[in-house]
Structures are given as C-alpha cells and as structure tokens.
Structure 1
Amino acid sequence: MKRSRQKYAVALGLVLAVCGSAVAEEKTTQLGEVVVTATRDEVPIEQVGSSITVVTAKEIEQQQKRTVADALRMVPGLDLVRTGSFGGTTAVFMRGAKSEHTLVLIDGIEMNDPSSSGGGYNFSNLTTDNIERIEILRGPQSTLYGSHAIGGVINIITKRGDGKLKGFLSAEGGSFATARENAGINGGTNLLQYSLSVSRLDTGGVSAAAERYGNTERDGYQNTAVAGRLGITPTSNSEIDLTLRYDRSRTSVDNGGGAGKDDPNHIMKSDELFFRSQGWLSLFNGMWDQKLGGIVQ
C-alpha cells in the first residue's frame, strides 16, 4: 500500500514539475510592447518613465484614419489646428508648447522645416500609408533630441515587409466628389524585406469663403502619396535599409472670408520627397556597432 502511494506521489510530482516548467517557459517567452523613442534604444514601454503613447497600424486601420493628423487627434495631450479644409496648414501643439517645439521624425529623419518660421512641421499632406506605428513622447526631450523637442517628440516608423508576398487594392467614394484609391505590396525573406504603398485622394471640397457672401467656388484638393521601404540582410550581423516617401498635393485656396474672396486661380502646391539609406554592421559579438547613412530631403 505504501509503495503504491509512493508511486502516485512520484507521478504527481513529475506532472506538476512538467506543468510548472511549461508555465515558466511560457512566461519567459511573452514580451511586452517595446518603444525606441524614449531612450533612442529598444526599451519595454512599462520601464519608460516618460509619458508615451503608441498608435499602431491596426488602430489606424480600425478607425479608418487616412492622415497622420487624424490619427494624432485621439492622443491625449495633443492639440491639432488646421486652417480651412483638406490641405490647409496643420500644426500640432503638445502640452501647451509651440508647434515648432514638437520634433517630428520619420524613420529617424527629422522632418521639421528649417525654412519655415520657427521650424515647425506641417502635417497637412502626410498620409498614413505604409506606417507601422507612431510613438508620441510627451514632455521636454531636449537632452536627447535638441531644442526642437521642448514639447515632445512624434516618431513615425514605417512598415518593414515580412512573410509571403501580400497585396491589397481598395477604392472609396463619398460626398463632395470625394474619391480615394490605395494599393500596395508587402513581403520578405531572410535576405530581402520590402513594402510599398501608393494612394491617391481627390475631393471637390467646399468653399472656405462664406457662401452667404456669394462665394460658391469649391476649394478642391488632390494628394498623391508613395511610400516604400526596402531592407537587405546579407548576413546576420549586417543590414542595408532604404526608405522613400513622396507626397504631392494641390489645394485650392480662397483669399479670405468676405464677399468676392473666391479665387479659382489661387492654387497652393506642395511636393515633399525624402530618401534615407543606412548600412549597419556589428562586429566582435555585438561589442562594436557601426552605422553609416545618408539622407536626401
């Protein structure tokens, strides 16, 4: 009788040991969300002392956000101001600071316009095409990012292709002669990773000048966006990363809000292009990392 009890006890102990090790193994493989903006290195978000919010591609798609400005409107601590309708100058104010005190990055490239007064960034034409996530870091970050980051940092990270080749194609239409088309591909292997997105938005718009004063000419808007990223990984300790983004927009602008302020010939044009190439090489078991890159903007 005692031997049978001992056998049962041993068997029960083995079962508990196996289950415990399986649970322990499962816990060790679970990884939390990681951010890079707070410390300029990969850190679990729960270990970040600063106030940070992450907007993912899944959230952007679920809420049907077509511009980055619309995606940022749901983030606490941000105030977005746009002059007029589509294509109007759009500024972000973070925690009461000026718009030029918010640093905007796309894949590490500083997007703030040095030619504008104050050096702020205009979000009017930036679409959500090919964007994987947006990290919004609130509060002074001048130590890491310089004087443009007094209010905070908005870091936009584009998609990196993986898995089998996937493609998508969509078309939308609505009021005021509005139409949007979008297409793209995404995929990758251990050697090559790629993602590409192309979109076009056209809208007849409405008159920004008051119609009660006889202003009936609609202020149309057109936007074409191309966004792509290519990664090449020849070895486990080296990588080449190429990023391209092009936005072309045309916006009809009125001369004011009073009588006779319609101007069908006043067109605001914008062409934005940036290209980044970067090579990375790690030597001596990760003790020496080397990066070399170039930017065209």
Structure 2
Amino acid sequence: MKRKKENFETAIKCTVIVVMLLIVIFIGMTFLWIMISSYSIDQFNIVLCLCIKNAGSYSVLLVGIVVTTFFQIYSKEKEKEEEEKIKIGEVGYYTLAFRRPDDKYEEVYNGDKIVVEINNETDYEFQPGKQTEYYFHFFTKFLTSKQKSTNLKNIMAFSDEYFEKNKKDILSNYYHYCEKITYPSPLYCSTKPTNELENNEALDRNRYFWLIIKLYERETIKNFWISAVTEDGILLFVKIKARLTCLENMSQIVLLQQTTYFKSQDELCALYR
C-alpha cells in the first residue's frame, strides 16, 4: 500500500512538472507576442488570454499530453515495483552464523579476509597486527535459504551508532564506502545453504571470513550491522544483536537476534515473504 502511494505521488509530481512546463510555454508565447506586436507589457493579461483562447483548439491535445504523461510514469513505476518484487522473491533469506566448537573446519587468524566494524573514519584504515587493543576477531559465515550456494560481495560491517548517523548516505552511495576500505576484505563470500547439513571443508574455505568487532567491555550485548551485495544486485543489511564475551583465553559471540533488510529506492525495508 505504501509503495502504491509512492508510485502515485511520483506520477503526480511528474505531471505537475509537465503542467508547469505548459504554463511556462504560454507565458513565453505571451512575451513573444508582445515583442512582435503593438501590445504593451501593461496588456500582459489580455495577451495571455488571447494565447490561451487561440490554443483552445489544442486543449484536448494538451489534456491528452498531461493524462498520458501521468499514466506512463505511473505504469513505469508499477513495472519497476513488479521487477523488484520478483528480484526480492528470488533473494532468499541470508543469516549470519559463527563458528561453533563442533565445526570441523578451522583457520588461523592471519589478518586476511577480514570485515572490520566501522565505528569512525579511522577504521577504514585498519591494519591487522597494529591495532589490537579493543579489537576482537570472530570466525563468521553466511547461511542462505536458497537450495544452492550463492556468492555475496562487498561485505561491510557498521556499528549501530555509525550506521544510524550515516544511513541515508550509505544507502545512496554504498560503493563509495566500500572504496574507502584499505584492509584485505573478502572479494566474494560463498554462502552455505541451510539444507546442507554436513560441513564441506573445501567449500568452507570460501565461506568463512573474520569479523573484527571493537569492544570496550569484556562482556557486553551489542548491536551492529552487516551489509553485502547479492549476485542479483540486491543490497542487503542484517541487523545483529549479540552477546560478546572476550576473556584472556576465549572470545565468544552468541547471536540473540537478527533481522534482514534490503535497499529499496534509497530506503531500508525489512525482508518479509
């Protein structure tokens, strides 16, 4: 219902622009008539009325132009909406999963394939091994409800505060934020279908990445965002609420809640089916 209202409002706005353009044309015709005739500027209203009167035979055509413009724009917006529905319907659900003790696949952290939680502008220049204080790494992968594995690219992480502050610009200029990254982020990350019960070590090598989280407390509940671009070109965002425990010999993250969103016309929409 909201989208229909937006489509209607867009069509109205464009139609108003067309009407304004017609008004400008009539005003321009009036000034031109005054310039090439014996009428004076004081007789502007009279000349304008004559222009409108002489254009009376074209009134049906003008009305047709306005009406046609409205329905063409509205139909195009509806077409875009339907295309987006099809795309979203094919996306499937994506969720985050963290390595559990019973996972067979292991990988030593070496500062490669990392996604750093952006809290401020300096985090874009994160250098593994040089910024260890308050930063903790977690072995992370994506799960998908699709029957087959898909690839995600341009994966990023944002603190809740940073994302809320820059949300509008992130949605409209997402790749600009990706280009600011100087750390070795994963080019592509393969997702694991939820129907694949057993782990596959060869495939898991392309699924996991290291999520770098900044913490000032050893035990806390934290909200943050993970974003990625799907193979279908959909920009996804997953809002995470997790309990993090970072002791001397153990770092653990437990998911409490997560909600998947997607970008639609520079807005954030929850992914419902």
Q: Which has the higher strand share?
A: 1
TM > 0.5 fold call: no
Q: Quick one: higher RCO (CA 8 Å, sep 6+), 1 or 2?
A: 2
TM range, smaller chain: under 0.3
